[in-house]
Amino acid sequence: MNSKIKRWLQLILLPICLLTITGCKATKNQLPSQAQKNIDSVLKNDHKTNDQQKTIDSNYFDKKTYNYLASLEYKNGQSAVLEVNQGNSTLAMNQWKKNKVIYGSLDSLNRTTYVTAFIDKKNLGRSEGRDRQVWQPTGWHQKRVDGKAIYNRGHLLAYTSSFNFDINGNYKKGEDGSLDNPKNLATQSAFSNQKVQTYYETMVRKAQQRMGNKVIFQIVTVFRGNELMPRGYWLQAKDQMGTLNFNVYEFNVEPNVVFDYTTGKSRIDRSMHVFFERQNQKYRN
């Protein structure tokens, strides 16, 4: 491009930018800068994690139970949730002293592992107005079926339960909930996230709302072998006041859709039926 053409373009574009300066700024920053900073920070620190820490991470949940859950096949029409240990949490409340989130290290395939959190009312927040997320977890292949997205960037620890923590899970007043943290996002079906997990997250939030109450929550992404999309999610929680206690496994499934968990890709299958029922909530397609 010669200098005359460049000068001509500048004369035309400059007034447009001056008239729409807010729009020009937004265009320049379409990728949220804070989101990218979060992603870069987590990945940089995770790559520094030594083998000893990864061994410690692996001891935060029972491997035998994990392997059993990973081996399960979802049977068409069965409940999307199974109880583990008769529904009773095995988490130890007395091991915790202060509010903290432990984000398990990404594994060798860049997959999430687990999140354990010791939280209370101070960590509650609202989801309205939060920024969109850009991180693509392993197995991410967004698709719309019947006009609706079937994949979610599923939070391991819910955004609304993770306020006042920094990106590394240390208590820090004034921080928003967890966003674009690669250790806290996994490829999750819309049904698993919005119908099933939301039910249990609501139970956790209600326990957090009780003044003086402390809650311990853990979620483990369950992968089979080297597959990139989780087969399911293993959730546990309990509180000091004795109002909260669950231990469940939720299958990562979607009505009318079959997933290839090796890659995360999917295909429509109208014969795929999913069932979920808890108290006054019931779903069957």
Give the CATH number of the domain where residue 214 resides. 3.40.570.10
* Between 4 and 144, the higher pLDDT residue: 144
The residue segments making up the domain with residue 233 are 72-127+135-276
- Whether residue 148 is contained in a domain is answered as yes
What pLDDT is stored for residue 281 in this prediction? 76
In a domain, 65, yes or no: no
Inside any domain, residue 26: no
In a domain, residue 35? The reply is no
Summarize pLDDT for 157-210 with one digit per residue, the tens. 999 999 999 999 999 999 999 999 999 999 999 999 999 999 999 999 999 999
Q: How confident is the model at residue 34 (pLDDT cuts 50, 70, 90)?
A: low
For Cα atoms 197, 207, 249, give the angle at the middle one, nearest 5 degrees. Answer: 30
Sign of CA dihedral 81, 147, 224, 134: negative
Going by C-alpha positions, the residue among 221, 218, 272 that lies closest to residue 69 is 221
Higher pLDDT, 112 or 35: 112
Any domain includes 10: no
| More confidently predicted of 43 and 116 | 116
Domain count along the chain: 1
54: Cα separation from own chain's centroid:
20
Beta carbons within 10 angstroms of residue 140's beta carbon:
15
**Does residue 1 belong to any structural domain of this protein?**
no
Q: Is residue 223 part of a domain?
A: yes
- 5 is a domain residue: no
Counting residues of the chain whose pLDDT is more than 70, the rounded percentage is 79
Exposure string for 194-221, b = 16+ CB within 10 A, e = fewer = ebbbebbbebbbebbebeebbbbbbbbb
CB neighbours of residue 285 within 10 Å: 12
pLDDT in tens, 206-239: 999 999 999 999 999 999 999 999 999 999 999 9
